[in-house]
Structure 1
Amino acid sequence: MGGTWSIQEYMTAGVENLVKNAVKVTLTNPAQSVFMARFAAASRAASRKRKISEQAGEHIPAFLIASITSSCNLHCAGCYARAVHSCTDEKPKEQLSAEEWDAVFAQAEEMGISFILLAGGEPMIRTDVIEKAGNRQNLLFPIFTNGTLLDDTYMRMLKKCRNLLPIFSIEGKEKQTDGRRGEGVYERVLAAMEDLQKEKLLFGSSVTVTKENLEEVTSDEFLKKLEERGCKALFYVEFVPMSPKLKGLAPGDEERKYMNRRLSELRNKYSDMIFLSFPGDEISSGGCIAAGRGFFHINSHGGAEPCPFSPYSDVNVRDTSLREALHSGLFMKLQNNGTLTGNHEGGCVLYEKRDEVESYLIRF
């Protein structure tokens, strides 16, 4: 790629390919394919906005992650959010209101952001925020959910608002999923998938990848079962250890090489599914794409953070615009000093270099 490689061109091409594939995999579902065709046009318009900004010297990413709540109804083993106290059982205080989140969504759309990934905690606790998201038809909102709160209210909302895309979290088969998320969760997720399939509603799955489940969750047996239930998108998220004793579960170089090879095979073999990985192949993207290179994160209290796995912030969207938050001192420091593109051992450079990230906050 050399000196001519551009993160903007790389991410724009990736977004266009994602939308194109999404249109393709919904062709058998008229209502969904009509929406995806409209969204494709909106995505192209957003891409033009980002290109104009880039030409003016301002980089706008295509993706935003929004953790709309710090509450969750489950206690998953090894949960990173609970380990860093961004998810608790205490009654949330001073979280962004639905109106404040709607303002964030509006600003994101104006800037040219196309995808807002809704996370938590458990995002489906915030029905009020998801209703606001559903009204923003030029944006696509993957909702990363444990799948246990899908009810008639949400089914009606999903039928009406095709830009809301549930992404169900599973860990593999029943033993692995229930072992981490609680007894009976696997069956509840499958039931949710079946309900959506009956209504011909688009959904996907998210898998936390460890050394222990890597081969299983990329196996044809596992994927065919998801495909049969109507799953159209699969997100692979590398496990980030929140303590030294769990480091052995995190994928290493060999596992990431295997994953990259396997992803290439899966994308060719399962033409009616979309496969994405996070953090993915950092070599092809020129390093970590957090802190605004490819995406950034707004926590439930409005803090602008590089990534959910790097919960550090020096600005809040309550005090500044989303555009200004994107150009925070912390983000600029991370982008310009080589932290995101430097060498590191694991899959998450910001978690591995968290002491370095913290040191930048002290200087502000």
Structure 2
Amino acid sequence: MLPALVLRTLRSANLRCIAKFMWNFGVKGTLSVERFKRRLKRGDYFPPFLYISIINSCNLRCQGCWVDVEADRSTIDLKAMNRLIDDAKAHGNSFFGILGGEPFMHPELLDILEAHPDCYFQVFTNGQFITEKTATRLRRLGNVTPLISIEGSEVVSNQRRGKPNVLNRTLRGLDNALNAKLLTGVATSVCQSNIDDLLTEEWLQKLIDYGAHYVWYHTFRPVGPDPNAQLALRPDQLVRVREFITTMRAKMPIAMIDAYYDHNGTALCPMSTGVSHHISPYGDIEPCPILQFGKDSIHDERGIFETIRSSEFLKDFREVSAEATRGCVVLERPDLVKNLVEKHGAKDTTARGSAVRELDNMTPRFSQWLPGREVPEKHWLYRWSKWYAFNDFGAYPQKMSVAEEKVKELEETL
């Protein structure tokens, strides 16, 4: 699997893009994790990875989307992004996830990427704005990988994304990215309407034949103003996703990403472990993208490092969430989220202003933490990588028997 993946990548991707990935993300990303570990040992904190929603606007209307895509456009401009990234770089960070809305609708996106050749960016996109001209400029930069979301067949894509002809327009963007020899990934939010189509070896082979270099399977989260809970996966399906990913990682020549498990298959939450936090299009610093509450802002004169480092709200959120569950605190304990918001006087960071009411309307449900159903990594490289750079970093208590019982009750209830 690994030799075939390396050979395929060397043949299909631009060498500058590969070099930027290996140095800016591979080497420097590893060093940023090392700094993170050292900070934790001395009781200090700043995440090695930041995810930044630079715009709220989007051309699609996806089921279950929590972003205020129909509100007046709000963006984080070039000046603010440069200040944020420069401060994070000064403390060892080199990787940034760029989200939206649709990031390619941001008029200064390419200028932001160009301003930081010493960083690596992953842009979460529907791909429909990746023209040949845009892809060519991205190749010149070399420090960016587009992660293009595909939600299923043409019929399912139209239904999931809320617009007609979605799949064809997305595939054109994917074509442009791959023809420009960009390191390119495909993301899927696995749900009831696409699990049987996209969680297959045939689908992975189609992506390999297409030229994609990696895939990211993440599971649908029923949150936001219109959560579409009927699309959420059952516990047995969550285990099925995990089994599929670990098996295919050891078999297929395509890299595979997931963000909810360590090397032993034990569930974790990147927010609770401290690996990442999220920044909204309004500049609010949030625990994670679906936790739309905040006390802090990137516009604080202290800068992003000191603001996050000294945030009692974020610290309390990480610690209390880790004590309550190894899964998703929003899905399992919306009551706890509300308590934390009220305790700290955090504001609703949405434009719609209904985030607290949405918590009240949620029915607690299971998430990725299913005690007793852990599926360890099968391939040595993924196992080692997660052991080193994507574990719980000691965030969770050694014994969580009460929390485990609560999770099992949620399984039985739903």
TM-score, with structure 2 as normaliser: 0.74
Query: Does residue 317 of the first structure (1) align with residue 302 of the second (2)?
Result: no
Query: Does residue 37 of the first structure (1) align with residue 18 of the second (2)?
Result: no
Q: What are the equivalent positions in structure 2 for 1:178-257 lying under 5 Å apart?
A: 178-181=158-161, 182-242=163-223, 246-257=228-239
Whether contact under 8 Å (1:172, 1:222) holds in the other structure is no
Q: What are the equivalent positions in structure 2 for 1:252-291 lying under 5 Å apart?
A: 252-271=234-253, 273-280=254-261, 284=265, 287-290=268-271
For the residue of structure 2 that corresponds to 1:340, the secondary structure is helix
Equivalent residue, structure 2, for 1:340? 322
**When the two structures are aligned, how many residues end up with a matched partner?**
336
Whether contact under 8 Å (2:191, 2:233) holds in the other structure is yes
Equivalent residue, structure 2, for 1:151? 131
Whether contact under 8 Å (2:260, 2:268) holds in the other structure is no
Equivalent residue, structure 2, for 1:63? 49
Gaps of 5+ in 1: 1-19, 82-86
**Residues 285 and 313 of structure 1: is their aligned pair in 2 closer, same or farther, counting only changes over 3 Å?**
farther
Could you list the per-position Cα deviations for residues 83-136 of structure 1 after superposition, in whole angstroms to 9, with x for gaps in the alignment?
Answer: xxxx2323325x432110111112222223342111111111114134212332
Cα distance in 1 for partners of 2:286, 2:200 equals: 34
132-141 or 112-121, which deviates more: 132-141
Could you list the per-position Cα deviations for residues 298-326 of structure 1 after superposition, in whole angstroms to 9, with x for gaps in the alignment?
Answer: 00111110111111101111014212332
**Residues 67 and 109 of structure 1: is their aligned pair in 2 closer, same or farther, counting only changes over 3 Å?**
same
Query: Does residue 105 of the first structure (1) align with residue 88 of the second (2)?
Result: no
For the residue of structure 2 that corresponds to 1:363, the secondary structure is helix
Cα distance in 1 for partners of 2:273, 2:187 equals: 23
Cα distance in 1 for partners of 2:281, 2:119 equals: 19
**Residues 278 and 146 of structure 1: is their aligned pair in 2 closer, same or farther, counting only changes over 3 Å?**
same
* Matched residue type, 2:55: T
For the residue of structure 2 that corresponds to 1:257, the secondary structure is helix
Shift of 1:163: 1.4
Equivalent residue, structure 1, for 2:39? 53
Equivalent residue, structure 2, for 1:11? none
Whether contact under 8 Å (2:122, 2:147) holds in the other structure is yes
Kindly name which structure, 1 or 2, has the bigger radius of gyration based on alpha carbons. 2
For the residue of structure 1 that corresponds to 2:135, the secondary structure is helix
* Matched residue type, 1:257: V
For the residue of structure 1 that corresponds to 2:297, the secondary structure is coil
**Residues 59 and 89 of structure 1: is their aligned pair in 2 closer, same or farther, counting only changes over 3 Å?**
same
* Matched residue type, 2:316: K
Whether contact under 8 Å (1:292, 1:306) holds in the other structure is no
Shift of 1:76: 2.0
Equivalent residue, structure 1, for 2:148? 168
Could you list the per-position Cα deviations for residues 222-281 of structure 1 after superposition, in whole angstroms to 9, with x for gaps in the alignment?
Answer: 11111111111211121111379732321232112111111111111123x221124446
**Residues 360 and 51 of structure 1: is their aligned pair in 2 closer, same or farther, counting only changes over 3 Å?**
closer
Cα distance in 2 for partners of 1:49, 1:97 equals: 28
Cα distance in 1 for partners of 2:221, 2:308 equals: 24
Whether contact under 8 Å (2:192, 2:232) holds in the other structure is yes
Gaps of 5+ in 2: 345-414
Whether contact under 8 Å (1:117, 1:143) holds in the other structure is yes
Shift of 1:361: 2.6
Cα distance in 1 for partners of 2:5, 2:113 equals: 19
208-217 or 62-71, which deviates more: 208-217
Cα distance in 2 for partners of 1:118, 1:126 equals: 11
**Residues 282 and 211 of structure 1: is their aligned pair in 2 closer, same or farther, counting only changes over 3 Å?**
farther
Shift of 1:22: 9.0
Could you list the per-position Cα deviations for residues 323-357 of structure 1 after superposition, in whole angstroms to 9, with x for gaps in the alignment?
Answer: 233232221112222x235248xx63224423322
For the residue of structure 1 that corresponds to 2:296, the secondary structure is coil
Cα distance in 2 for partners of 1:55, 1:145 equals: 36
Whether contact under 8 Å (2:273, 2:322) holds in the other structure is no
For the residue of structure 2 that corresponds to 1:308, the secondary structure is coil
TM-score, with structure 1 as normaliser: 0.83
Whether contact under 8 Å (2:125, 2:149) holds in the other structure is yes
Whether contact under 8 Å (2:102, 2:125) holds in the other structure is yes
* Matched residue type, 1:335: R
For the residue of structure 2 that corresponds to 1:323, the secondary structure is helix
For the residue of structure 1 that corresponds to 2:10, the secondary structure is coil
Identity of aligned residues (%): 24
**Residues 363 and 21 of structure 1: is their aligned pair in 2 closer, same or farther, counting only changes over 3 Å?**
farther
Cα distance in 1 for partners of 2:197, 2:210 equals: 18
